[in-house]
Amino acid sequence: MNKNDYIIRLETKNDYYEVENLAREAFWNLSIPGCSEHYFMHVLRQHEAFIPELDYVIEYNGKIVGCVMYSESKFIDENGAEKPVLTMGPICVLPEFQRKGLSRMLLEHTFAKGIEMGYDTVINFGNPDNYVARGYKSCKKFNVSLEGGTFPAAMLVRELKEGALEGRKWTYYQNDADAPCDDEEAVEKYDALFPSKVKAWQPSQEEFYIHSHSAITW
């Protein structure tokens, strides 16, 4: 892959449909039959936690082939001190462009921008396979849990500044930007704006179930 063939730039309004269609191609049938990530992008852009300065696409020959978005959430430590953190996602690359290092380029670019903006931590839920090579670690390693003290296996943390989380115990409070995605009717209605696709089962959905229902306990 020649890195110079690709352009990383901020998303514009004119890109919305292309980017959402890309997300639909990348996520379709991956975690559930169909997907809701294109609708998530639509509602996320309108949410107060959304960070437009970190809303990037990657282009190849004038075609958008990957994208990443971020929103702001918070960690609260055991003494009640709050820290704003970056919640990464969605991130996706068109299937025919995957495994070429494009998400790596997008993450490295936006991590550097995030540091410039003063953030020191990124967090997201995901398949660890996609993230450990980018310096992410299990949330347990940084003592970051959900309320109630659980450490989801899929909750992955990346320090942008080494040692930023050291020596404290953190609880993650994710913004509620994805709440509208629970409304299946709204997702269906939005999906109808895109080319028809067949919903089906595939093994990755079982993998998703396992990852998203697992916690690290020791």
Question: In 3-state terms, what secondary structure has residue 155?
Answer: strand
213 binds ligand COA per the rule CB under 6 A: no
What sign does the CA torsion over 39, 40, 41, 42 have?
positive
Tokens 């940084």, residue located: 142
> Of residues 117-156, which lie at the interface with ligand COA (CB under 6 A)?
126-127, 129-130, 133
102, exposed or middle or buried, with CB in 10 Å at 0-12, 13-18, 19+?
Answer: buried
CB of 41 to ligand COA, least distance (A): 12
Q: Is 102 in the site for ligand COA (CB under 6 A)?
A: yes
Total residues at the site for ligand COA (CB under 6 A)?
Answer: 18
Q: Which of 112, 110, 111, 144 is nearest to 125 (CA)?
A: 144
- From candidates 101, 109, 173, 183, binder to ligand COA by CB under 6 A: 101
What distances in angstroms separate CA 87 from CA 64, 119, 178, 208, one per listed residue? 22, 11, 11, 19
Our CB check for ligand COA shows the closer of 51 and 91 to be 91
104 touches ligand COA (CB under 6 A):
yes
Choosing from 19, 86, 88, 92, the residue that interacts with ligand COA (CB under 6 A) is 92
Binding site for ligand COA (CB under 6 A): 26-27, 30, 91-93, 98-104, 126-127, 129-130, 133
